[in-house]
Chains A and B, each alone.
Chain A
Amino acid sequence: MIKISGLTKRFGPITAVAGLDLTVERGEVLGFLGPNGAGKSTTMRMVTGFVVPTAGTVTVAGHDVGEDPIAAQRVIGYMPEGAPLYEDITPVAFLDFIAAVRGYDGAERKERVARAIRLLDLADVAHRPIGTLSKGYKRRTGLAQAVLHDPDVLILDEPTDGLDPNQKHHVRSLIRAMGRDKAIIISTHILEEVEAVCTRAVIIAQGRLVFDGTPVALKGRSLSHNAVTIRVKRDAAAQARTNLATVAGVARVVEKPATNGIATLVAFPVDGKSIIQDVSDRLRRDGCPIEGLTVDSGELDEVFRRLTTTV
């Protein structure tokens, strides 16, 4: 549905996006990650035809955005960064304008507006000026505008920014549900969001692609992926630590400060391989007084930091 090739944007001496290649298919929810200024918004603006690329092409549903932006814009639903809206008018009037631009008339237009209001739960504020609404309602009005015409391609720049946890949950399940038959790109810097809604994670740093894979694979890159956390009585901690260090596959063991007489040990594996079996066998053999044993799936924050600062 979305095909980006060799996409480059330079602003004077600054290169915001440097030769990006990316393809997004129907049924994918792509989480677009990167530090601030990495080129996420610029990329989205080029896909939606707002910014003209310095080089490279974008094709959306077969339409070249550079050659026929309007045909591409018809199949795209887009919420720009910060969800800009006409603050003087009400959500109903605003969505009615969007529905008119999207080509709906008469009863169908009313139905479309009503559906968008229902979908984003805006009924309570539908007739109040947008400028007077809370940040959460504004963001949802911006989302309602993007999904009103049930587009094949959805591009959402930080869709859950400013929402409370309940609203976040609501919007995420909405995106997940829509992701089944659309191609969706969402940008975010909330890493847990990628795990919660995305089928694919892409990280860019300084305008270049540094990771492209599933959220699970992203976690697998973590140093603490498959690490084992062991909680033991403080007296037994030192012995356990020495013993664990000798287990094959364990790279190193770290001890964290004890609380309430319980110490926490973390055994990191070599190359992210599973070590839980060997570790637990060894502990049992030593008769170590274990209070708790957990396997880490990995820390997204840590992977993100490593991937985006080494470029």
Chain B
Amino acid sequence: MRNLLIVFRREFAAYFSTPLAYIFIVIFLALSGAMTFYFGNFFERGQADLAPFFAYHPWLYLILIPAVAMRLWADERKTGTIELLMTLPLSTVEVVIGKFFAAWAFIGVALALTFPIWWTVNYLGSPDNGVIVSSYIGSYLMAGAYLAIGACVSALTRNQVIAFILAAAVCFLMLASGLEIVTSFFIGWAPAFVVDTVTAVSFLTHFQAILRGVIDGRDAVFFTSLIAIALFINVAIVDLKKAQ
């Protein structure tokens, strides 16, 4: 636990030792604002809720989270610091989890800084704050799932650009597996349970359920178990490929 915290602190601080953190936060806030107001018609809808704000998160994360995740391992391998890190008396599990939580906390900071929009909607009307809280939690869990997949992919390569593109592609498949673009590929030849399974792993399906304010444990469990599985695979990849 102590070691996990040490890794966490170093990784978290690393985001803020370069302009990356500030650029990410500014772009995240600008894009989420723009999408809410322009595409989401925040004012025109005349409803005091944050549905248009959260509705674009899956798409926003698709680009921004692979950008946070890509450096996690690819950079360590490229600069050779992975050899330094993995020969310190730290277990792979401690390093993988410490890195993941540092990146997740960083995304948490960016997400928390969207608080003015919550304040705005409360000023303008009286929204269901329970739904907003559960939507924030859902959005954060979904971000964690994107991130865990991105971290996993980052451990496969020493090239950050490849890590970014691969992570974005995998995340897109996970996101869109409930949409026609992916299901139509299976319908017609695959048995129904395959189509159902593919639809069931869709980020979008689970996230939309959370947005409706239905606090269904299953959606939260879906994202947390996805994070756990991805981190488990991440540990295996690092152990196998660290010296290559």
Seen from chain A, the residues whose Cβ lies within 8 Å of a Cβ on chain B are 45, 48-52, 70-71, 73-74, 76, 78, 80-82, 84-89, 93, 97-98, 100-102, 129, 145
Contacts and interface: CB of A to CB of B under 8 A. Distances in A.
Given A45-B83, A70-B90, A70-B91, 7 more contacts: A50-B242, A80-B87, A88-B14, A88-B18, A101-B90, A102-B88, A145-B84
A48 B17 CA distance: 30
A64 B232 CA distance: 25
A76 to B, nearest CB: 7
A48 B243 CA distance: 12
A154 to B, nearest CB: 13
Contacts of A74: 89
A50 B87 contact: yes
Contacts of B120: none
A78 B87 contact: yes
Contacts of B13: 89, 93
Contact of B86 (A50, A87, A93, A145): A50
Interface in B64-99: 79-81, 83-84, 86-91
Contacts of B90: 70, 101
B243 A101 contact: no
A126 to B, nearest CB: 15
A73 B18 CA distance: 30
A84 B87 contact: no
Contact of A97 (B10, B242, B243): B10
A76 B17 contact: no
A93 B10 CA distance: 9
Contacts of B10: 86, 97
Contacts of B6: 97, 100-101
A101 B3 contact: yes
A90 to B, nearest CB: 9
A78 B86 CA distance: 11
A202 to B, nearest CB: 21
7 contacts: A73-B89, A74-B89, A88-B14, A88-B18, A89-B13, A93-B17, A129-B17
B83 A50 contact: yes
Interface residues of B, number: 21
B89 A84 contact: no
Contacts of A145: 84
Nearest to A75: B89
Interface in B205-244: 242-243
Contacts of A93: 13, 17
Given A97-B6, A101-B6, A85 B81 contact: yes
B14 A80 contact: no
A101 B86 contact: no
Nearest to A49: B87
A88 B84 contact: no
B243 A87 contact: no
Contacts of B18: 88
B87 A73 contact: yes
Contacts of A49: 86-87
Contacts of A48: 87
Given A88-B17, A89-B17, A50 B243 contact: yes
B84 A101 contact: no
A48 B242 CA distance: 13
B89 A101 contact: yes
Interface string B10-39: 100110011000000000000000000000
Contacts of A89: 13-14, 17
Interface string B153-185: 000000000000000000000000000000000
Q: Max chain A CB contacts within 10 Å: which of B13, B89, B91, B242?
A: B89
A175 to B, nearest CB: 19
Contact of B80 (A73, A78, A80, A100): A80
Contacts of A129: 17
A64 to B, nearest CB: 15
B80 A84 contact: yes
A73 B17 contact: no
Nearest to B244: A11
A73 B83 contact: no
A11 B47 CA distance: 63
A49 B81 CA distance: 15
Please list the 6 inter-chain residue pairs (A to B) with the smallest Cβ-Cβ separation, ordered nearest first. Answer: A84-B80, A80-B83, A73-B89, A48-B87, A88-B17, A84-B81
Nearest to A47: B87
Interface in B81-127: 81, 83-84, 86-91
B88 A98 contact: yes
B80 A76 contact: no
A178 to B, nearest CB: 19
Nearest to A41: B83
Contacts of A97: 6, 10
Nearest to B240: A52
A76 B87 contact: yes
Contacts of A52: 243
B79 A84 contact: yes
